Amino acid sequence: MQHFRLFIDGEWTDGAAGQAMASQNPATGEDWASFACAAPEDIERAVAAAHRALSDPAWRDLSQSARGKLLYRLADLIEEHAAELGRIETTDSGKLLAETSTQTKYVADYYRYYAGLADKIEGAVLPIDKPDMHVFTRRFPIGVVAAVVPWNAQMFLSATKLGPALAAGCTVVLKASEIAPVPMLEFARLIEAAGFPPGVVSILTGDAENCAIPLTRHPDIDRIAFTGGPEAARHVVRNSAENFAVTTLELGGKSPIIVFEDADLEGASNGLIAGNFGASGQSCVAGSRGLVQRSVFEALVEKIAAKAEAIVVGDPLDTSTSMGPLCTRAQLDRIEATLVHAQEQGARIRFGGKALDRAGHYMAPTLVECRSADTATLKVEMFGPVMSLLPFDTEEEAIALANDSEFGLGSGIFTENLSRAHRVSSRLRAGICWINTYRAISPIAPFGGFNQSGYGREAGMEAVLDYMRTQTTWVNTSAAPMANPFLMR
């Protein structure tokens, strides 16, 4: 098997404890690669290197334009190696090659976006209300960033952290998931080839106890950018109490897609297919709570069923495949148990509902017709190709059902009534709302959630400022000496 090593302080290394793990190909269920795992000593070394690089002239004294050029170079390398990185990610995670290679190529635009912003970071002269005072602000990099990303969209989710952090002049220790981390360890080669000074970016992986915990609680970490599940996020927040690191959380979701009776049902069915079966449902913005106006419920189910029949479930490296396997066997087991519970609650499986009898972690596309909003599949983040549909009668009912969730990441509305689209979207408690489309992203558009879907935003112009601190400077321009503070006039 091919072995992948950690990238720390510009060097390739196995972990200090000599621990390694095997990575399984979800399409076959067989081990295909091994990777080194970080120990606490490796975390110490990576953070120390990042802290040192902050004050190293090789990084500290680079102009903002020069930082941008490094990011442009990285973007070009990503685009050049997108097919290779996509193949590795597909082999490691089971995601379709068409998706991984295309998404990786598009990720280059995220780095280009932040490369272009690097020299647009400005201070300001303040119109202060005191005579003879010249007051201005300037921005400094916040410091050392701990970036933690999951396996399911790691090239994209690392770009939304590395891009703005590096544009701001920070240094980054990126912790990849111990599930399917190989693409990030391979991506580190591009960081090296782009010419970033040693220590500016380190990329490693390992378990929570030896890697994630010592990283997020390290006293020299100034900023934590975390994407993952709510339970892990609670530990991250507790860890940040040790270092007071500024923290943003991009967590799970149970996103509603509302289909009104006046919707274009062709578009709505495509939106529900994309929101539930795209990436085999392994997406934090999966639109797995379909709310459909009762008058068009059966017509929409018929359209979805017809489209689902055409989905080819198979080898994700095969270009004829529409949907690949799930990343882990544990996901299959959890989904099947939740489906059993939903049926006990009165839900009806309209199609699918079972793992496929073949090697690998394959789940059939599944549609669950729910009788109540308390159905398990409407509450649990499935992280698999399971669509749950619930009928509604009125607009007010649809809004109430959509907001009846502990999450609040994505949402979708399908309607031909523009007034209704604006009216309903303004009342949804979700960080993203797609109208007559779904799962569209852009480096220009902020991404993040409400409620237990986290806080803070990634992507967009403001994200760079989240990796900076503001300094205010007061200059006394008077020719007279500073007044005696004890002589009041």
The H-assigned helical ranges of 345-417 are 376-379, 395-402
**Crossing angle of the two packed helices 64-80 and 97-117, in degrees rounded to 10:** 170
Count, residues in the chain: 489
The helix (H) or strand (E) run that includes residue 471 is strand 468-476
Report d(CA 171, CA 226) in Å as an integer: 16
End-to-end CA distance of the chain: 80
The helix (H) or strand (E) run that includes residue 106 is helix 97-117
Would residue 250 show up in a list of annotated catalytic residues for this protein?
A: yes
Report d(CA 87, CA 92) in Å as an integer: 9
Beta bridge partners of 2: 33
Report d(CA 26, CA 93) in Å as an integer: 6
Report d(CA 140, CA 149) in Å as an integer: 25
**Cβ contact 202:166 at 8 Å:** no
> What are φ and ψ of residue 144, in 5° steps?
-90, 130
User: Nearest Cα to 285, choosing from 157, 159, 158, 183?
Assistant: 157
Instruction: Take residue 63 and report the two structure tokens written for it.
Output: 């102009």
The helix (H) or strand (E) run that includes residue 350 is strand 348-351
In terms of C-beta density within 10 A (0-12 exposed, 13-18 middle, 19 or more buried), how is residue 285 classed?
buried
Q: Residues 99, 250, 369, 458: which is the catalytic one?
A: 250
- Sign, CA dihedral 405-406-411-417, equals positive
Report d(CA 475, CA 136) in Å as an integer: 9
- Backbone dihedral region for residue 456 (phi beyond 0: left; psi -120 to 50: alpha; all else: beta): left
Report d(CA 411, CA 255) in Å as an integer: 5
Instruction: Take residue 56 and report the two structure tokens written for it.
Output: 């190293």
Beta bridge partners of 126: 135
Q: What are the distances in angstroms from CA 77 to CA 28, 113, 124, 176, 187?
A: 30, 15, 35, 20, 10
Across the beta sheet with 30-36, the strand order is 2-4, 30-36, 20-25
Catalytic positions, please?
Answer: 250
